[in-house]
Amino acid sequence: MKNKWDTIYLLLRLFMGLIFIWASWDKLLDPVAFARVVHNYQIIPSSMVNLVAIILPWIELTCGLLLVLGLLTKGSVFIIDSLLFIFILALGFNLYRGLDISCGCFTLSHEADNTMLHTLLRDVALLIPGLWLLLYNPKTDLNFIKTLLYSKRCINAGKFFSNSQ
């Protein structure tokens, strides 16, 4: 990498991607428990709880994977930032109402020792690099797949196979 800001961009992109892959894991493995967590927030109608519990982890996983792979990064970061903003609003609303529920962010265990205030502050802290990723335009191409496919070795291998026929 020629530019230190591009290196920071890459590291933050990988960090955010891995965070959201990790965050999706327990939810994907136990959608019923995650549906209970979503219901405990008492924000969305009961008829929508299962839909949110099924779709949200897949969105987190997909956006996380896209960030790690360097594909559709601006769209993925926009969705992740939007989710973080919604999470911050939901946590703040329930904190205001005096509810202290398990957030269901990284684990569905009720023994998680994070308070809602701690979780709210963590989401705000995650939103800061997320916004920077959204606004920064890297000077170099940081797409792993494109770099792999169009590297000199792959181009030479493609020429070799096309000439051997």
pLDDT per residue as tens digits for the range 62-119: 999 999 999 999 999 999 999 999 999 999 999 999 887 877 777 766 665 568 888 8
pLDDT per residue as tens digits for the range 32-49: 999 999 998 899 999 999
pLDDT reading at 15 higher than 70: yes
Task: Tell me the whole-structure pTM to 2 decimals.
Answer: 0.81
SS (H, E, C) the chain: CCCHHHHHHHHHHHHHHHHHHHHHHHHHHCHHHHHHHHHHCCCCCHHHHHHHHHHHHHHHHHHHHHHHHCCCHHHHHHHHHHHHHHHHHHHHHHHHCCCCCCCCCCCCCCCCCCCHHHHHHHHHHHHHHHHHHHHCCCCCCCCHHHHHHCCHHHHHHHHHHHHCC
pLDDT per residue as tens digits for the range 120-154: 999 999 999 999 999 998 876 666 666 655 655 55
pLDDT reading at 160 higher than 50: no
Give me the residue spans of the domains in the chain: 4-139
